[in-house]
Amino acid sequence: MSSIILLGAPGSGKGTLAQQLKTKLNIPHISTGDMFREAVKGNTPMGLKASSYMKDGHLVPDDITIGVVDERFTKEDVKKGFILDGFPRTIPQAEAFDSIIKNKGLKIDAVILLDVDQGLIVRRITGRRSCPSCGNVYHIETVKPKVEGICDSCSTKLIQRKDDTEEVVKERLETYEKQTAPLIDFYSAKKILLKIDASRSPNYMMQQLEVLGF
Ligand code: AMP
C-alpha cells in the first residue's frame, strides 16, 4: 500500500506524475484542483465560491478545501492507498489532514517534493493543454497529443485552463512560495519528505521514484 502526497509548485508536474503513479499502483488520484474545476463546471454553490479565488490564482479558503477532502476520504477506496495532488497547500490544511486520516487509521507513507526552477514552470504552464472530459494533460511542445488539439484517450478538444495564463501563473507561484512552501519544513520534520528532480521528463521522474521504492 502507498499513501503519497505530491508537493510542488504549480506546473512542477504533479498531475502528470499522479496519472502515471495511479496506473502503476492502482490507487486513487485525488486532486483538489480537479474537484474544484468539476464543481465550477457543474455550477454548484461550492463551485461558484471556489471560482472567484481560482481565477485570480489565489487559494480557496481552508475550511472549504478541508471539507472537500474530508468528504472524499469517507470513500472506501482510500484504504488501499492514495495519491494526493495539490493538497495540502497550507499548514492548517496539513494539520487538518493529519486528523482526518488518523481517525481512519491511515497514515502518509511519503511526501514527494517535485523540485523545479521557476522559469521552467512558466514555460510549462503556459504551454499546458488539458482534456476537459477525462483530465489528461498535454503540452504544446513536450507532451503532444497524436492529433494536435485532440485528446488521445477520448478524442475531446483540448483546452487551456483559464488560470494557466502568464499573469495568473505569476500570482499562483507567489501564493505557492508564501503559503505552500512552508510545508517542506513541516514534512521534513516528520521525516517523510523525499525530493525528486522535476525539471526532466515524466518518465525520468518515474524512474527516480522506482529507485525510491515506488
Ligand atoms: P491545481 O489544479 O492543483 O493547480 O489547482 C487549481 C486551483 O484550485 C488553485 O490555484 C487554487 O485556486 C485551487 N486549489 C486547488 N487545491 C487547493 C488547495 N489544496 N487549497 C486551496 N486552493 C486549492
124 among known catalytic residues: no
What CATH number matches the domain at 2-116+167-211, 3.40.50.2300, 3.40.50.300, 3.40.228.10, 3.40.640.10? 3.40.50.300
CA–CA distance, 141 with 128 (Å, rounded to integer): 9
User: pLDDT tens across 192-202, in order?
Assistant: 999 999 998 88
Q: Of 14, 37, 124, 129, which residue is the catalytic one?
A: 14
pTM of the model: 0.89
User: pLDDT tens across 19-69, in order?
Assistant: 999 999 999 999 999 999 999 999 999 999 999 999 988 999 999 999 999
CA–CA distance, 138 with 144 (Å, rounded to integer): 6
Residue located via cell numbers 510549462: 124
Ligand 1 near 13 CB (within 6 A) = no
| Contacts (Cβ under 8 Å, ≥6 apart) of 142 | 124, 127, 201
Closest ligand 1 atom to 93 CA: 19
| Contacts (Cβ under 8 Å, ≥6 apart) of 139 | 124, 127, 128, 129
Average pLDDT over residues 150-170: 93
Domains of the chain by residue range: 2-116+167-211, 118-164
User: Distance of CA 86 to CAs 38, 67, 101, Å?
Assistant: 15, 15, 17
Centroid of ligand 1 to alpha carbon of 204 (angstroms): 25
As given in the structure block, the three cell numbers for residue 36 are 474544484
Round the average pLDDT of the chain to a whole number and report it.
94
Ligand 1 near 176 CB (within 6 A) = no
Ligand 1 near 32 CB (within 6 A) = yes
Ligand 1 near 84 CB (within 6 A) = no
User: pLDDT tens across 67-121, in order?
Assistant: 999 999 999 999 999 999 999 999 999 999 999 999 899 999 999 999 999 888 9
Confidence of residue 130 (pLDDT cuts 50, 70, 90): very high
CA-based radius of gyration for the chain:
16
162 among known catalytic residues: no
